[in-house]
Amino acid sequence: MSKTKRIQVPLSEEDDKLIREVAKLYKISVAEWMRRIALKEAERDRNLIGKKLKPEEALEAIARMNLPVGPVRKMNRESLLGRLED
């Protein structure tokens, strides 16, 4: 299969270094390592495509992603405070 599409992923210096080191362990390029990880995660969530989730289901799906974000209540409070300061 021809690979013609590209996705740019902003990374911190620390993340970039770690990913490069791990890709090197497998003797593959960083792009190939990132592609494999992205496809693995996409396959895991394929069943969610087109599905209408209840709010609690959506929050559970987001929590499973293990994203680098803080607690929702704290983020809402910070967001509200930020809007009030303007």
- Give the model confidence (pLDDT) of 38-63 as tens digits: 999 889 888 778 888 888 888 887 77
Note the pLDDT of residue 11. 87
Q: What are the sequence ranges of the domains in the chain? A: 13-85
CB half-sphere exposure, 19, CA atoms < 13 A: 17
Note the pLDDT of residue 31. 93
Note the pLDDT of residue 58. 81
Distances (CA, A) of 59 to 35, 53, 68: 25, 9, 14
Q: Which two tokens stand for residue 51?
A: 């599905």
Q: Which of 11, 57, 56 is nearest to 37 (CA)?
A: 11
Cβ–Cβ < 8 Å for 44, 66: no
Q: Is the pTM above the cut of 0.75? A: no
- Residue 86 to residue 75: CA distance in whole angstroms: 17
